[in-house]
Structure 1
Amino acid sequence: MSDVSSGRDRDRDEEGRARNARPRDGLGRPLPYGAEGVARQPEGVVRTPQETVAEAQALLDAGRPFHAHEVFEDAWKSGPDEERGLWRALAQLAVGLTHAARGNTAGGARLLRRGAAGLTAWAEATGRSAPYGIDLPSLDAWATALAEKVEEGAPTPDAATNAPRLRP
C-alpha cells in the first residue's frame, strides 16, 4: 500500500498495519534507512510487574528511556484495569525524559509533570505508594526536579545520567 501524501510505500508489519521500519537511535529517533540503529523493543510482550520494572530500569540505566516507555506501555495495555494509571504514568515519565534528552524542553517538562501527577493520583486513589517496590514519592520528586531544570534552560540532560531509580 502507498502513503498517498508522500507517494512512498509505507512500511507494514506482518498483519498489514503501518509500522516504520527505519532504524532508530537510543532515544527512539528515526535514522536513515540502512543506518545502524539500536534493537527495538518488541511490542505487546506480557511481563510480570517485577519483570516490567526490572527491564524498564535496565533500559533507563542504559540511556534508552524511549525503549523503557515501550515496556511500560506493554504493562499499561496488558495489565489489570486498576493498574493502568500506574503504568501509563511511568510511561509518561520515560517519554518525558526521552523528549528532554532530545532537546524538546517544553514537551519533556510537560510529560514529566503529567507522569508525576498521574503517579500521585494513582497512589491517592489506591492508597499504595510503593507498588512492586516502585518508590512513587521519589519518582514524583525526580520528575518535578528534572522538569524544573529543563524549563530553567539547563543543558540538555543525558538520558542515562538522569535516569530515575524506580526502586530504592
Structure 2
Amino acid sequence: MAESERDRDSAGRARSARPRDGLGRPLPYGAEGVERQPEGVVRTAAETLREAQRLLDEGKPFHAHEVFEDAWKSGPEEERALWRGMAQLAVGLTHAARGNRTGGVRLLRRGAVGIGAYPDPHGIDVAGLAAWARALARRVEAAGAGTDEAVDAAGESPRLTR
C-alpha cells in the first residue's frame, strides 16, 4: 500500500485498520480479530485499573497497555511516569506472550523500575507488581535464549491492586 493510501482514523492520523489478535498482532485484512480499544479515552484512575485488569484477565495485555497509555497521556503530569510504567509492564507481558523474550524481559524490568517511585497510588500494589515483573522476567530469561516459547498471557496476568 502506498504512503498516500495508508489507513487513517477520523482525525486523519495514520492508523492501521487491519484486525488484530488478542495479543495485538496484525491479522490480514478481512480476518476476524479482537475488538480494539478506542484511543484517547479519559478515565478515572479507578476506571483505568478496572478496565486494564479485565483485559489482563482475558489474556489481552496489549489492549491493557492501550488503556494505560490513555492514562499516561491524559493524566496529571506527576503521574505520567506511573502510567507509563504500568503500560511497560503490560507490553512486557505482551512480548513474553508473543515469544519475544528479549523485549519482554527488557520491558518488564523497565516497568518495574518506572512504577517503583510511587507509594501505592490509587490502591495499586506497586511492590507486588514490581516483584511479579522481576520474577516473570527472570523466568522468561531463564527459559533460554534462542527459544520462542511464549508465556500464557492470561495465566501470567498480575493483580494490579491490593
TM-score range, shorter chain: over 0.9
Q: CA deviation at 1:20?
A: 0.5
Distance 1:95 1:103 in 2: 12
2:59 aligned with 1:63: yes
Residue of structure 2 in register with 1:156 after alignment? 150
Distance 1:2 1:13 in 2: 17
Residue of structure 2 in register with 1:76 after alignment? 72
2:160 aligned with 1:166: yes
Greater shift in the superposed pair: 155-164 or 107-116: 155-164
What is the SS of the residue equivalent to 1:36? coil
Q: Percent identity?
A: 70
Residue of structure 1 in register with 2:2 after alignment? 2
Distance 1:15 1:32 in 2: 24
Residue of structure 2 in register with 1:17 after alignment? 13
Residue of structure 1 in register with 2:48 after alignment? 52
Equivalent positions of 1:105-144 (< 5 A) are: 105-120=101-116, 122-123=117-118, 128=119, 130-144=120-134
How many equivalent pairs are there?
158
User: Which residue identity does 1:14 align to in structure 2?
Assistant: S
Q: CA deviation at 1:48?
A: 0.3
Q: CA deviation at 1:3?
A: 1.4
* RMSD of equivalent CA atoms: 1.3
Q: CA deviation at 1:2?
A: 3.4
Residue of structure 1 in register with 2:32 after alignment? 36
Distance 1:138 1:153 in 2: 22
What TM-score, normalized to structure 1?
A: 0.91
Distance 1:156 1:28 in 2: 15
User: Which residue identity does 1:158 align to in structure 2?
Assistant: D
Gaps of 5+ in 1: none
2:85 aligned with 1:95: no
Distance 1:43 1:56 in 2: 14
